[in-house]
Structure 1
Amino acid sequence: MRSALSAFTPLNLPISIAIAALWILLIGLLAEGAYRYTQAGTEIVRKIVHIGAGNVILLAWLLNIPRWVGVSASILFSAIALLSYSIPILPGINGVGRKSLGTFFYAVSIGVLVAWFWTLHLPQFAAIGILVMTWGDGLAALIGQRFGRHTYTVWGMKKSWEGSLTMALVSFAVSLAILIATQGNGWQGWLISLTIAAVATTLEAFSKFGIDNLTVPIGSAAFAFFLSQLFWG
């Protein structure tokens, strides 16, 4: 299996960290500005952060940011997320009293996947897990809320087939794009991507209280990794 993580050059570490930090800062400011100065609802603002912030995994991958930086950032943002449920640090992102730990789980999942796959020098699998959650779940929520007309209920949660279909299609596209970029365009990548799409959509449908932000990325990355080991070694 190809390694997609090149040797890190210590001299570019401060610049790499600054670029990633600036990206997160811009997303946060954009979301908070939308919350304060537009008619965008809280859920729309949350999805701006959800989709925007998740792409930091690509920056971490492309800039070869070290594992310790990613894990440390995950711990920091996990703590901030927990604190923000009690203190309105960013009210547009976490409403006080909201019965979901989604933002916290999101930060934790990034740390877990960076710790796991940076150690193996296979960051593409961390990227698959995070981007399936970032784009799949983010767009599924927006499409489901806007166009969801055919609904179903799982454990008391109302879902839409339109949203679930979006989750499956986007998860498949994200996984396939990364696997083609790192492994080449073979039938294995298509089969793995179909499996990831099914797994991610199922996990998203059955997860409550925001835990899909943990189960979807870790589950997607794990299936991608183990199936890749099976097919490519």
Structure 2
Amino acid sequence: MSHDLAVAGGGVLLIAAVLIVVGRALARRGAGPLVTRKIPHALCGVFAALAAFQLSHGAVVAGVLAAATVALTIIVERGLIPVPGVFDGTRSRDYGLVGFAAGALIAVLAFWPDRIAIAAGVLVLGLADAGAALIGDRYGRHRVEAGGGVRSLEGSLGFVVIAFAVSWAFCRFGLELNTFMAVSVSLFVAITTAAVELLVLPAADNLLITPWVALLLHVARDLSTDDALRWLAALAFGCAIVPFMLRMRWLDLPGALGGGLIAGVAVGLGGWPWIIPAAVFFSLTSLLTAYRRPTRATGMRSLSQVAVNAGLPVLVPVIGYAFTGDPLWYAVSIGGIAAGIADSWASEIGRFSAHEPLSVRTWTRVPKGTSGAVSPLGSGATVLGALAVGAFGALFGGVLMVPVGLAAGILGSLVDTAIGASMQARFSCATCGATVEENLHCGAPTRASTGWRWMGNDAVNACANLAGMVVGLAVFGLFGS
């Protein structure tokens, strides 16, 4: 224990010294702010990865990382004087260091003592993130706006190359996989992490990439040749559906990239049954949305909608399944999908009702499409959608998926309606006086009217999908054993 404390303490001091000394040295030589930040950060990733092999007590490692996360958060929040190579006074960027420490902490808590997986995650983040930023700054020409930031496809390609090289070295010489297995795992790691880096909020990639890579290499220890082939097929499938969704105009570019990432990960970690129900019902719902509507009115779904309606009910459970191997996670996924589909079908089919729906808040007639309103046709569509998802899930997960889908779909749709009627934000248009659910109307910002301002449509859908996932877990727990 004392040895670990000494190594951990010395490692923290060394990393701090590298950040400050190297950053200042680069600044004195005329390097730009990006270089003075990324080069020291890459070196710290190397030192942190090496430190993982010098420590034997997970509690010490977790304690040091937890303390570092708290200390860095305080430093950023108090806005301490910027130090070249460390902080630049921009919270969205400075929180990258907080995310780095917190992501390493999550990896340690989840996978210790798998030092190879943890070190690989730290090193992929340290080297590939820095390389992508520098390459994108120097050669980036094709920009992608996603996750609240702007990144370049050239930088993402650099991320793929560096992440592949690092992962391959760990797979080949750390896990001692054969060449085919090492290439398969490394490609999966490189492409999925590059997609995460491209799509998430600034600094959030530092939180997510280390535990994600650690999970993949941890799972790769027991990977078979058939599994490796499925990982490659999953990558091909995820990449292929991106242009398809763009061509169909179902998703914008960030949404399509996010959809491709979710599909590839679901197939890779769980198998085809994990994505087929979501893909089938997403396609049907998109066709319903476009039916008898002018093209300009349908619009394309965004990344946030994909994250809520596919990432939450598919990606989260399949990661749980990869980590535990427990079939209950499939019921959780079917429950979340059923909740989303039941509510969507209620809205899309309900618009063909002969009468305006009733608001459950005021029990008065409101325009079709108003959140928190119900109609007999829409209620019937809720049951139909829930039952359809459950029946389809039963093809892969057994007959128990029928009550899972039915209960989760109905309960999730009820949660959506209740929150939509009571807490969802509504805004008043200063131009036309209409009450709307958007921040913009008639080309101008709207004013908050009722509800919680942050409770937008995506937040309401997330609550409904979470409710469906919980119901799916409960039904499986009651009848699955």
TM bracket (short chain): 0.7 to 0.9
Q: For this pair of structures, how many residues does the alignment match? A: 222
Q: Higher relative contact order at CA 8 Å, sep ≥6: structure 1 or structure 2?
A: 1
1:112 aligns to 2:103 (yes or no): no
Name the counterpart of 1:184: 176
Q: Could you tell me how far apart the structure 1 residues matched to 2:73 and 2:118 are?
A: 23
2:135 to 114, 128, 143: 143
1:154 aligns to 2:146 (yes or no): yes
SS at 1:96 equivalent: coil
Name the counterpart of 2:47: 56
Q: Could you tell me how far apart the structure 1 residues matched to 2:53 and 2:206 are?
A: 23
Name the counterpart of 1:40: 31
1:214 aligns to 2:212 (yes or no): no
* Residue type at the aligned position of 1:104: V
SS at 1:111 equivalent: helix
Q: Could you tell me how far apart the structure 2 residues matched to 1:116 and 1:17 are?
A: 19
1:103 aligns to 2:97 (yes or no): yes
Structure 1: state its 5+ residue gaps.
1-9
**Rg larger for:** 2
SS at 1:184 equivalent: coil
Structure 2: state its 5+ residue gaps.
228-481
* Residue type at the aligned position of 1:193: S
Name the counterpart of 2:415: none
Name the counterpart of 1:133: 125
SS at 2:224 equivalent: helix
Using the aligned pairs only, state the percent identity: 24
Contact 2:69 2:101 in 1 (8 A): yes
The structural deviation recorded for 1:36 is 6.3
Q: Could you tell me how far apart the structure 2 residues matched to 1:97 and 1:149 are?
A: 24
SS at 2:158 equivalent: helix
* Residue type at the aligned position of 1:154: A
Q: Could you tell me how far apart the structure 1 residues matched to 2:207 and 2:8 are?
A: 24
Name the counterpart of 2:303: none
2:14 to 2, 23, 36: 23
1:66 aligns to 2:57 (yes or no): yes
The structural deviation recorded for 1:115 is 2.3
1:66-101, Cα deviation, whole Å (9 max, x unpaired): 212221221222122212222315533223343342
**After TM superposition, where is structure 1 displaced by more than 4 Å over at least 4 residues in a row?**
none
Q: Could you tell me how far apart the structure 1 residues matched to 2:9 and 2:97 are?
A: 22
* Residue type at the aligned position of 2:120: I
Q: Could you tell me how far apart the structure 2 residues matched to 1:76 and 1:113 are?
A: 15
- TM-score for both structures, normalised by structure 2: 0.42
1:165-214, Cα deviation, whole Å (9 max, x unpaired): 11001111101101111222512121111100111010000011310001
1:97-150, Cα deviation, whole Å (9 max, x unpaired): 4334211111101111122222xx311111111111111111110111012233
